[in-house]
Amino acid sequence: MAKIVDYIVYMTYDLHGQWDAHNSNSQEGCATGNCLRSHVNLTETKQSLAMITKSGVPGAKVIVGVTSYGRSFKMVDPDCSGPDCLYTGDRLHSDAKKGECTNTAEYLAGAEIDEIMEDSSRVVKSYVDTTSNSDILIYDKDDVWGLGGTSDWASDLQTYHDVPKPATSWANFIQLAKAGEEPKTDQTRNGNWTSYNCADDNVAHLFDFTPSQRWKNMDTDTAWDDIVRIWNETDRGRNLTFMQSVGSTTHFKSQACG
């Protein structure tokens, strides 16, 4: 395979995790399986790399995978953080605190880890374990994570991002995208001007009304307010021209009343 592909991503992470608990074969020297072992264990990484290169894969084609997340555990003893220390839970359940964004026990995004480290009241201890080449953070007294280091899994976990306007939340943004709508387009409209179409008397009988009457009857003041608001608050920042913004807001081209 190495003769055909341009590169091979070597995933040097997720070597250990909550799933090891109660599995005596998951790691050496831990009969219960729930010992705190780095998910980027340096020794195991080197041994696996040796197997790849010995099989004939050129080192230049091996791309090292790194993570933008860390594995977290709730410790039996809050003061214990070595490889023989035990964490709680079983292979299907972790007692570690869930992150704000990932909402998953025993898994924290890089952005969530950074947030913890910025709060000195939560950090108990932070250091590099030279044996496993892992960053260790002990926080909230009895929670621990190990983060290692290139291909990056996954870059969207590195930092928090504000939801693009005009969406009010990421949940709203995702909902619009799933519905096939453009979440970066302002869909809010005020008044009743969008309810008029080519069959309306003000359009079908053009000369029965003065321009000012038609302007008022079709709620055009509100339409103009929406046009200006959406241009200033959303579309100008999307590098649309004013006329492109007007067309997007009003859908005039799709009316084809001529």
Which pLDDT score, from 0 to 100, does residue 35 have? 92
pLDDT one-digit tens code per residue, 178-213: 888 888 888 889 999 999 888 889 888 888 999 999
Residue 154 clears pLDDT 70, i.e. is over it: no
pLDDT digits (tens, 9 = 90+) for 47-104: 888 888 888 888 888 888 878 888 889 999 988 888 899 999 999 999 999 988 889 9
pLDDT at 20: 94
For residue 238, give the 3-state DSSP assignment: helix
Q: What are phi and psi of 81, to 5 degrees?
A: -140, 15
Q: pTM value?
A: 0.55
Structure tokens at 219: 């709620």
Which pLDDT tens digit goes with each residue over 230-254? Answer: 999 888 888 889 999 998 898 876 5
Q: Is 45:99 a contact under the CB 8 Å cutoff?
A: no
**How far, in Å, CA of 43 to CA of 24, rounded?**
19
Question: What is the spatial distance between Cα 99 and Cα 187, in angstroms, rounded to a whole number?
Answer: 32
How many angstroms from the chain centroid is the CA of residue 184? 17
According to CATH, where is 3.10.50.10 located in the chain? 8-157
pLDDT in tens, 211-222: 999 999 999 999
Top pLDDT among 224 and 167 is at 224
**What is the b/e burial string over 32-67, where b = at least 16 CB atoms within 10 angstroms of the residue's CB?**
ebbbbbbbbbbebbeeebeebeeeebeeeebeebbb
Choose which CATH entry (3.10.50.10, 1.10.287.3510, 3.40.50.300, 3.40.50.970) describes domain 8-157: 3.10.50.10
